[in-house]
Structure 1
């Protein structure tokens, strides 16, 4: 299991080549340090060091970026870039603003810094500071700090979550928090009115005096085709929902043609809705997927939070994982009784039992009727359990994720 502490420390052994940032946020990063320097020649040498591979592995933690930079002497210099991390209340305001704006979410999931966040997350004038163990007596930044700044800009080109990590939060915990906040936003949205586009009754469209003979059956295709592009229409259904339903129907029809068996036979309305929602790994974060989650939740009489949690369970292990989420049961003696001593022996803590569940702080294991252990997580002091990791017959391995 990845903890928040693990998520807040990343080391990059390899950094993309070059010293010039390609993205606008990468250039804004270097501009923050360049504005603090009055020595253009020192910056030029820093760019040359960055381009020449003088910067070793870069470690990023909240408020700090550290690397060893090789200069003219045999021993490299320890160089740091310092940027204040946000307090919890600042993060709460920022995440709420992102969750309420689909365009910002979509940009972030595409690994771009949203323009709406630029003034909040990028360094302000004088905010980005540098330290170095070199003997350069001049006012910082020295050439080693400049080299680290240019190499960090190349990291930001590839992954803007590095910038958010410097500000205090790791990628995984950010996406989990945004998932919860978006579920709440979607639940508060007003349902759309029924579509008003014209149509023809099916009885009238199919009525005819004589039916032509049936054509010869076509051979079974090798793969399901792609659905046509559906244009967006304010009065029509959501294009993403139509695309997914068409793709799902095509794949199901192909399986019926090839095997004469329905792969989804026996699924309830709720299970089928969860299966459809689980196809979106962003868990309803994007604006289009949010509409799909909202409509599926409304059709099944559940909340979007229930649907997001169930979709996460389905991605964890299908129908059996969904049953582990929703159906507490009393397991017989055997694997369940042996799990607690095994967890204690592995140093995972003392878990309290409750039916088929073992809980300890923010961690929980659930024994499914299939004999597999399913791991869950919750925030401290909150019984809001969410599936994580993959199921396993061994509880210690399942808990590790």
Structure 2
């Protein structure tokens, strides 16, 4: 063990703590896809120590923005280590192409409008010659560990994967498209609140996503409810029938 690993990390009160306290982190296909990439390219020993850091609550903060994740992790030194993880964020022209490809597939479009992540979306990205999940990660940590990644980076990566479980649209937001932007485009500029998919800031989601003293039991996942008039938005009827049918669809849902 290197000299800078000798001390135990300073305990944190109220840090971000992984909900999964035993076994594998990540329960959905998209979070597991991200974890599989990490475990293939990263040092397994440091990934293991990173899981321990994530479960102990050593990560102080995580902020996700297009192409970048910034975080702070408390190690054995008084000053927390600063983390930066970068991937390519796609520009507006590329996202226009992606959205057109999604819109051309009615099933993909319907699932995304209902708040689901279709398993085929990774293949859709690949067909366009781009990646949904990063193959390489440009990562930096202010600690003196030369390993790739260090345990501080590993802790952040695991918590990031677990946050993908709860909100798959964070994967797309990292690539440069927020939930609101994507669904607004797919719904032909329909108000996002009509589709019942509110865009909550990442920092606000973290406030109740990770809780100090979390147990090994994962909270029940709530079923996603599609908007009553979702079918009309995916397959618009001719003429003015949309205006006539929308109240009827909503009335059936209330009944």
- TM score, norm. by length of structure 2: 0.64
Whole-Å Cα distance in 1 between the matches of residues 189 and 101 of structure 2? 10
Match of 1:25 among 16, 21, 30: 30
Counterpart position of 2:68: 64
Deviation at 1:15, TM superposition (A): 6.7
Deviation at 1:146, TM superposition (A): 0.9
**Closer/same/farther in 2, CA of residues 151 and 28 from structure 1, 3 Å limit:** same
Counterpart position of 1:169: 177
- Is this contact kept in 2: 1:83–1:129, CA < 8 A? yes
User: Cα deviation per residue 1:144-163 (whole Å; 9 max; x = unaligned)?
Assistant: 11111100011100001111
Whole-Å Cα distance in 1 between the matches of residues 180 and 141 of structure 2? 31
- Is this contact kept in 2: 1:108–1:114, CA < 8 A? yes
Deviation at 1:62, TM superposition (A): 0.3
Counterpart position of 2:9: none
Counterpart position of 1:180: 188
* Secondary structure class of the residue paired with 1:75: coil
Matches within 5 A, 1:2-401: 17-18=19-20, 20-37=25-42, 39-119=43-123, 120=125, 122-126=132-136, 128-138=137-147, 140-180=148-188, 282=227, 286=230, 288-290=231-233, 294-295=236-237, 298=238, 301-302=239-240
Larger radius of gyration: 1
Whole-Å Cα distance in 1 between the matches of residues 170 and 58 of structure 2? 21
Count of aligned pairs between the two proteins: 189
What do you get for the CA RMSD once the two structures are aligned?
A: 3.0
Structure 2's unaligned 5+ residue stretches are: 1-14, 126-130, 191-224, 247-255
Whole-Å Cα distance in 1 between the matches of residues 17 and 54 of structure 2? 10
**Closer/same/farther in 2, CA of residues 142 and 112 from structure 1, 3 Å limit:** farther
User: Cα deviation per residue 1:304-355 (whole Å; 9 max; x = unaligned)?
Assistant: 6xx5xxx8xxxxxxxxxxxxxxxxxxxxxxxxxxxxxxxxxxxxxxxxxxxx
**Closer/same/farther in 2, CA of residues 283 and 169 from structure 1, 3 Å limit:** farther
- Is this contact kept in 1: 2:113–2:183, CA < 8 A? no
User: Cα deviation per residue 1:266-307 (whole Å; 9 max; x = unaligned)?
Assistant: xxxxxxxxxxxxxx98595x4x3336x733xx3xx4386xx5
Whole-Å Cα distance in 2 between the matches of residues 85 and 303 of structure 1? 40
Structure 1's unaligned 5+ residue stretches are: 1-12, 183-279, 312-401
- TM score, norm. by length of structure 1: 0.42
- Is this contact kept in 2: 1:15–1:155, CA < 8 A? no
Whole-Å Cα distance in 1 between the matches of residues 52 and 114 of structure 2? 31
- Is this contact kept in 2: 1:111–1:158, CA < 8 A? no
Whole-Å Cα distance in 1 between the matches of residues 46 and 18 of structure 2? 22
- Structure with higher RCO (Cα < 8 A, 6+ apart): 2
